[in-house]
């Protein structure tokens, strides 16, 4: 009887407590597609989702309401391991599979195998990264690089070209700081793959002269630190590394590593990492999902009906997705995964804040208050500058008298006009009374009043456009898929609002949104 009571108490805590702690609801949206290993979201087209797994690549254009198979691989090795966008073509898609690398120009049914590999290890492609001018491909037999749009590939020399590659990341946005997580450690290149430096060794003991991670957990010392996954935060220039001992991070591009607290993790064997647009860190173990808040981890997967997690993903609204053997699951948007987030924050992710847009509009219109302040400083310093006067005069009054002492020679004893001369002078004068009061201050006061009025008008217009755009985005998300006419009108309105914000900021809004 006592055993039954204890069992009922345990079931009570497992079932009741998670719901009271704001545990998110999980919705299966893959419509029966199982064995999903990777997910990719389009920043240019809302609702567009790609997933890859045991049965190929599937595409949804309606937030997961319906799916269609766009790539089905023939043969025994049909698994899809990773999907990445083409940096030079926003519609282009790279797919790393067990039988090579595939590419589609339009991200649909037209595919071409661009990497075959020489043996079964090279054919097994695990990850791909596209940056302007180069494509990095990780396989079970090393790292390959192409700089001519996949027409030719070269294998990286050294250990990085011989071991299994787990993940590839660009540390700093817009720069070629490439980091690669492999079975031999973490390597970094600052010259688009020409040279590589090992920045993390795959064990805590390390080798002479190599940089190793410092582990604070005494139980971890001496154990093998097997690398699982690596991800970079372009906002804070941080690198996070998942290992079987927990998570490490570096704040200096991998020169020094620190151990992230594992408090709250049910297992230190972290398999996958994901970052939100505001730098919140998510991690997954074999069957659980966690969010890092403060110095602890909070589990989010009590209600997740899956025993095997392969990857994590975050869409443009900041919603968390789990790729698992049982399918693709999405955390409910209204379940407040993080208490600090609001609905407005979710609809303005990956976009500049209102403060940034206001500043861009002020600078573009040249109505920054600093301008008036600078004018006042210059006016106050004007008294120290002298008034410069230069005088120039022509003197033509010189007369020359010629006397040779003879009365018979011509032109003797005559008075002649001499050559013209120039007279000049320079004078400097100061009006030190302007140190106390300058008449220019009155003119500056008038200009300041007009500038304040103009700035208020601009900011008022920016505020209306910015928050109207968020409201329309929310309305679009709540529309039914069948409401095509309403969806078209609202998406057109979004573009109108975006164009208006660009007109007020000199294109800043779109540049930051697309960047």
What is the spatial distance between Cα 368 and Cα 173, in angstroms, rounded to a whole number? 29
More confident residue, 42 or 18: 42
Question: Residues 82, 125: contact at Cβ < 8 Å?
Answer: yes
For the stretch 202-252, pLDDT in tens is 764 333 333 344 443 433 433 456 899 999 987 788 899 999 999 999 998
pTM equals: 0.60
Cα(470)–Cα(472) distance, rounded to whole angstroms? 5
Distance in angstroms (rounded) separating the CA atoms of residues 198 and 184: 9
Q: Is 427 helix (H, G, I), strand (E, B) or coil?
A: strand
Residue with tokens 């999405």: 330
Q: Rounded CA gap, 140 and 126, in Å?
A: 7
Q: What average pLDDT does this structure show over 24-47?
A: 90
pLDDT at 151: 94
From residue 291, give the alpha-carbon distance in Å to each of 191, 273, 281, 313, 315: 34, 10, 6, 13, 16
Q: From start to end of 343-463, where are the E strands? A: 387-395, 399-402, 414-417, 421-429
State the Cα–Cα distance between residues 84 and 81, nearest whole angstrom.
10
Please say whether the beta carbons of 58 and 51 come within 8 A.
yes
17-24: average pLDDT: 49
Query: Are the C-beta atoms of residues 472 and 493 closer than 8 Å to each other?
Result: yes
The domain ranges of the chain are: 24-336, 358-392+421-514
What average pLDDT does the chain have?
80
- Comparing 126 with 236, the larger pLDDT belongs to 126
* Residue 24 DSSP label: P
**What are the b/e assignments for 77-88, b being 16+ CB within 10 Å?**
ebbbbbbbbbbe
> In whole angstroms, what is the distance from residue 42 CA to residue 350 CA?
12
Residue closest to 87 by CA, chosen among 48, 45, 127, 130: 130
Output the CA–CA distances (angstroms, integers) from residue 43 to 39, 48, 63, 350, 395, in the order listed: 13, 8, 13, 9, 80
Asked whether residue 105 carries a pLDDT value surpassing 80, the answer given is yes
Distance between CA 129 and CA 19 in Å, rounded? 39
Between CA 477 and CA 118 the distance in angstroms is: 47
Contact in structure between 215 and 259 (CB atoms under 8 Å): yes
Edge-to-edge strand list for the sheet holding 49-53: 36-41, 49-53, 56-60, 68-71
- Its CATH class, for the domain covering 24-336, is mainly beta
| Contacting residues for 194 by C-beta, under 8 A, at least 6 apart | none
Q: How far apart are CA 60 and CA 68, in angstroms?
A: 7
Predicted local confidence at residue 209, as pLDDT: 34
pLDDT for residue 78: 85
Nearest Cα to Cα of residue 335 among 313, 295, 304: 304
Q: Which of 222, 273, 274, 212 is nearest to 243 (CA)?
A: 273
What contacts 498, CB < 8 A, 6 or more positions away?
A: 469, 509, 510, 513
The pLDDT score that the predictor gives to residue 108 is 86
DSSP string, 377-410: HHHHHGGGSPEEEEEEEEE---EEEE--S-SSST
Look at 10 and 208; give whichever has higher pLDDT. Answer: 10
Measured in degrees and rounded to the nearest 5, phi and psi for residue 80 equal: -105, 125
Average pLDDT over residues 459-476: 84
Q: Tell me what pLDDT residue 8 has.
A: 42
In Å, what is the CA distance from 370 to each residue of 356, 374, 448, 451?
Answer: 17, 6, 11, 11
For residues 401 and 375, the model is more confident at 375
pLDDT in tens, 402-454: 555 555 556 555 656 656 666 777 777 777 666 666 666 667 677 777 777 88
Mean pLDDT, residues 468-490: 74
Enter the DSSP assignment of 219: G
- State what percent of residues in the chain have pLDDT above 90: 38
Q: pLDDT digits over 286-339, tens only?
A: 989 999 988 889 888 888 887 799 999 999 888 999 999 999 999 974 444 444
Comparing 31-45, 345-359, 402-416, the range with the smallest average pLDDT is: 402-416
């Amino acid at each position: 009887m006592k055993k039954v009571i204890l069992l009922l108490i345990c079931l009570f805590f497992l079932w009741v407590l998670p719901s009271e702690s704001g545990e998110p609801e999980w919705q299966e949206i893959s419509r029966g597609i199982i064995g999903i290993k990777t997910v990719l979201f389009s920043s240019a087209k809302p609702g567009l989702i790609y997933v890859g797994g045991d049965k190929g690549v599937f595409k949804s254009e309606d937030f997961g309401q319906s799916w269609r198979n766009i790539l089905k691989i023939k043969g025994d090795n049909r698994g899809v391991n990773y999907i990445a966008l083409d940096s030079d073509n926003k519609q282009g898609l790279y797919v790393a599979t067990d039988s090579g690398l595939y590419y589609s120009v339009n991200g649909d049914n037209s595919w071409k195998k661009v990497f075959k590999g020489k043996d079964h290890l090279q054919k097994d492609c695990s990850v791909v990264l596209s940056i302007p001018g180069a494509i990095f491909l990780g396989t079970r037999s090393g790292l390959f690089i192409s700089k001519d749009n996949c027409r030719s590939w070269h294998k990286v020399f050294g250990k990085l070209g011989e071991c299994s590659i787990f993940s590839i990341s660009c540390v700093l946005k817009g720069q070629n700081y490439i980091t690669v997580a492999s079975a031999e450690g973490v390597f970094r290149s600052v010259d688009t793959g020409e040279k590589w430096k090992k920045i993390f060794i795959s064990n805590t003991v390390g080798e002479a002269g190599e940089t190793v991670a410092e582990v604070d957990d005494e139980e971890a010392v001496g154990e093998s630190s097997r690398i699982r996954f690596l991800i970079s935060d372009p906002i804070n220039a941080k690198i996070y590394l998942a290992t079987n001992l927990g998570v490490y991070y570096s704040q200096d591009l991998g020169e020094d590593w620190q151990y992230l607290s594992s408090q709250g993790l049910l297992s230190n064997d972290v398999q996958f990492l994901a970052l939100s647009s505001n730098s919140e860190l998510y991690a997954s173990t074999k069957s659980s999902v966690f969010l890092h808040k403060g110095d602890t981890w909070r589990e989010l997967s009590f209600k997740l009906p899956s025993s095997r997690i392969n990857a994590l993903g975050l869409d443009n609204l900041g919603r968390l997705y789990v790729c698992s053997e049982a399918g693709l699951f999405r955390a409910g948007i209204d379940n407040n995964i993080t208490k600090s987030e609001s609905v407005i924050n979710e609809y303005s992710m990956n976009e500049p804040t209102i403060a940034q847009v206001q500043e861009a509009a002020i600078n573009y219109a040249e109505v920054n208050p600093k301008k008036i302040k600078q004018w006042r400083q210059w006016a106050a310093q004007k008294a120290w500058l002298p008034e410069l006067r230069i005088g120039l005069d022509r003197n033509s009054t010189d007369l020359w008298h010629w006397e040779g002492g003879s009365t018979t020679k011509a032109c003797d004893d005559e008075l002649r006009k001499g050559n013209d001369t120039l007279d000049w002078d320079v004078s400097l004068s100061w009006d030190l009374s302007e140190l106390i009061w300058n008449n220019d201050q009155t003119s500056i006061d008038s200009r300041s009043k007009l500038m304040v009025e103009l700035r208020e008008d601009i900011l008022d217009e920016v505020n209306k456009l910015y928050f109207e755009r968020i409201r329309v985005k929310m309305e679009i998300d709540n529309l039914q898929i069948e409401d095509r006419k309403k969806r078209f009108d609202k998406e057109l309105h979004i573009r109108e609002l975006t164009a208006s914000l660009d007109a007020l900021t000199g294109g800043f809004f779109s540049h930051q949104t697309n960047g």
